Amino acid sequence: MIFRQLFEPISSTFTYLIGCEQSGKAVLIDPVLPAWERDLAEIRGLGLDLAFTVDTHIHADHITSARKLKQEAGSRIAHPAIDGLACVDHPLEEGKPLVVDSIQIEPIFTPGHTDGHHAYRLGDRVLTGDALLIDGCGRTDFQNGDAKALYHSIRSKLFMLSDDTLVYPAHDYKQRRVSSIAQEKARNPRLGGDRSLEDFVRLMGELDLDYPKFIDYAVPGNRECGVCPPDVPEKLEQYCDQIGDSLQG
Ligand SMILES: [Fe+2]
- 11-51 pLDDT, tens per residue? 999 999 999 999 999 999 999 999 999 999 999 999 999 99
Range of the domain at 8: 2-210
What CATH number does residue 42 fall under?
3.60.15.10
Residue 75 Cα to ligand 1 midpoint, Å, equals: 23
Query: What pLDDT does residue 159 have?
Result: 98
Q: 80 - beta bridge partners? A: 92
Residue 195 Cα to ligand 1 midpoint, Å, equals: 23
Mean pLDDT, to the nearest integer, of 115-127? Answer: 98
Q: Is residue 219 part of a domain?
A: no
Q: Which residues contact 200 (CB under 8 A, 6 or more apart)?
A: 147, 150, 151, 190, 191
pLDDT digits (tens, 9 = 90+) for 133-175: 999 999 999 999 999 999 999 999 999 999 999 999 999 999 9
Domain count, the chain: 1
Query: What pLDDT does residue 241 have?
Result: 86
Strands 98-100 and 103-109: antiparallel
Q: Is residue 51 part of a domain?
A: yes
Residue 79 Cα to ligand 1 midpoint, Å, equals: 14
| Burial (Cβ within 10 Å: 0-12, 13-18, ≥19) of residue 150 | buried
Residue 171 Cα to ligand 1 midpoint, Å, equals: 9
Residue 142 Cα to ligand 1 midpoint, Å, equals: 9
**Cα–Cα distance, 123 to 185 (Å, whole number):** 19
* Distances from the Cα of 229 to the Cα of 77, 140, 218, angstroms: 19, 25, 8
Q: Is residue 142 part of a domain?
A: yes
Q: Is residue 242 part of a domain?
A: no
What pTM was estimated for this model as a whole?
0.96
pLDDT digits (tens, 9 = 90+) for 59-95: 999 999 999 999 999 999 999 999 999 999 999 999 9
Q: Is residue 205 part of a domain?
A: yes
Q: Is residue 172 part of a domain?
A: yes
Q: 137 - beta bridge partners? A: 132
Q: Is residue 114 part of a domain?
A: yes
Residue 182 Cα to ligand 1 midpoint, Å, equals: 23
Q: Is residue 87 part of a domain?
A: yes
Cβ atoms within 10 Å of 249's Cβ, excluding its own = 8
Mean pLDDT, to the nearest integer, of 232-244? Answer: 87
